[in-house]
Amino acid sequence: MSSVVVITGSAGLIGSEAVRHFTGLGMDVVGIDNDMRGYFFGADGSTQWNLQRLVKEVGARYTHHNIDIRDRDGLDRLFTELGSNIGLVIHAAAQPSHDWAAREPFTDFDVNAVGTINMLEATRRHAIEAPFIFTSTNKVYGDTPNSLPLVETETRWELPEDHKWFGGIDETMSIDSSMHSVFGASKVAADIMVQEYGRYFGMRTAVFRGGTLTGPGHSAAELHGFLAYVMRCVMEQRTYKIFGYKGKMVRDAIHSHDLITAFEAFHRAPRVAEIYNIGGGRFSNCSHIEAFAIASEITGLEARTEYVEENRAGDHQWWISGTARFEEHFPEWKLTYDVPAILREIYQANQEMWKA
Ligand SMILES: NC(=O)c1ccc[n+]([C@@H]2O[C@H](COP(=O)([O-])OP(=O)(O)OC[C@H]3O[C@@H](n4cnc5c(N)ncnc54)[C@H](O)[C@@H]3O)[C@@H](O)[C@H]2O)c1
């Protein structure tokens, strides 16, 4: 059986968790990451620390390549070398922030959309049998979730219990006629192309549309990394800016470990051209107000927040992922972390790095 896993964004939150997981299963992992997160978000965002930690931890089963996913020839050379030894591709490198995308729309599109077709084409040419997993986003639905009939409670916005999506929004929500942000639109392009390489070329591709993905491997920066940045601000006594919706916007959060076990399930029984909404669902979700209360309780420190009336363009007021389709296809998969468990782990893992 082919045993090399190619992982892009391998120094990032999701990529690094995937490296640990698949090397742990005895597979060889080839990682692609050029620390472009440092370019996007400055020193807070650099993933160099995570890469160094990773290399120390996993040893010889991991090989790193500093390739830019926009570099078609570089990817082609690597895929030519690895060829049909590739048993799985996980494409998690991206420009991940919708605020940042508007600063440099060409860069955002080149990384997110063109980088994805570069990866698809390299896989089709050299390892067409390998399942191809893409980390898409719930932002492909644009701001359509904001038209849901939300009601205000003391600490959060909420859907009425009898609403069909109370348990989470499923994949039937339209991706059309809404504001996506420049980032959401570049991810839509990539998302559709991954589906197309499944439908058109018969490749076993899967699009995972994540809600908030989180975990201790996140290089928490103001523009990206919700729960990690909440915890970082409380621990370092930085002021966190909350944008709009009275601090009651709801996010579901999935720990990177739980996402990677979903990827493993797909790898073991791959299907063609699937899309899955994936996230913490009803099991793991919170509003900003609730997240800060939990973080304060864990750290024993007061949170410093500043409220900005205007919400971020295209931001969701309420998002809980409906994961029923994935659970139906992979009934053995289970979420193991809820929000307090995630925040506790982020706190414990970053005691050395994040000090007041
Ligand atoms: N974190 C979330 O909340 C979230 C939510 C939904 C979807 N996603 C998606 O999941 C994926 C992974 O997110 P993450 O949180 O791990 O992000 P991350 O920023 O932690 O990791 C991405 C990695 O990709 C690398 N990278 C960026 N551009 C590159 C390029 N041109 N060439 C090579 N490497 C490059 C970065 O240096 C970084 O290490 C992304 O596609 C993101 O859009 C994330």
212 CB-side CA count, 13 A: 32
For residue 327, the CA-to-ligand 1 centroid distance in Å is: 25
The answer to whether residues 216 and 17 touch, using CB atoms and an 8 Å cutoff, is no
Task: With 0.85 as the threshold, say if the pTM is over it.
Answer: yes
Higher pLDDT among residues 220 and 181, named by residue: 181
pLDDT of residue 57: 95
Summarize pLDDT for 252-311 with one digit per residue, the tens: 999 999 999 999 999 999 999 999 999 999 999 999 999 999 999 999 999 999 999 998
Hey, what are 82's tokens?
A: 């690895």
pLDDT digits (tens, 9 = 90+) for 44-77: 889 999 999 999 999 999 999 999 999 999 999 9
**Region 20-48: what's the mean pLDDT?**
95
The pLDDT confidence band at residue 337, using thresholds 50, 70 and 90, is very high
Q: Is residue 112 scored above 90 in pLDDT?
A: yes
Question: Quick check: 6 pLDDT over 70?
Answer: yes
Q: What is the mean pLDDT of residues 225-234?
A: 92
Contact yes or no for 226/290 (Cβ under 8 A): no
Instruction: Please give all residues whose beta carbon lies within 6 A of any atom in ligand 1, as ranges.
Output: 9, 11-15, 32-37, 47, 68-70, 92-94, 96, 111, 115, 135, 137, 210, 212-213
pLDDT value at position 40?
96
How far apart CA 332 and CA 310 sit, in angstroms, is 42
Supply the residue whose CA is at minimum distance from atom 32 of ligand 1. Answer: 68
Which pair of tokens denotes residue 266?
């797909």
Mutual orientation of helices 48-58 and 13-24 as an angle, nearest 10°? 0
Cα-to-centroid distance, 51 and ligand 1 (Å): 14
Supply the pLDDT for residue 206: 98
Q: State the Cα–Cα distance between residues 154 and 149, nearest whole angstrom.
A: 17
Burial class, 300, CB count within 10 angstroms (exposed 0-12 / middle 13-18 / buried 19+): exposed
Q: What percent of the chain stands above pLDDT 90?
A: 91
Q: In 3D, which of 45, 41, 47, 39 has the Cα closest to residue 7?
A: 47
User: CA-to-CA distance for 186 and 93, rounded, in angstroms?
Assistant: 13
One-character DSSP codes across 45-64: G--HHHHHHHHHHHGGGEEE
Note the pLDDT of residue 215.
Answer: 87
Confidence of residue 313 (pLDDT cuts 50, 70, 90): confident
CA atoms within 13 A of residue 6's CA, in its CB half-sphere: 29
What's the pLDDT score for residue 2?
60
CA atoms of 110 and 189, how far apart (whole Å): 11
160's CB contacts (< 8 A; 6+ apart) are 149, 151, 166
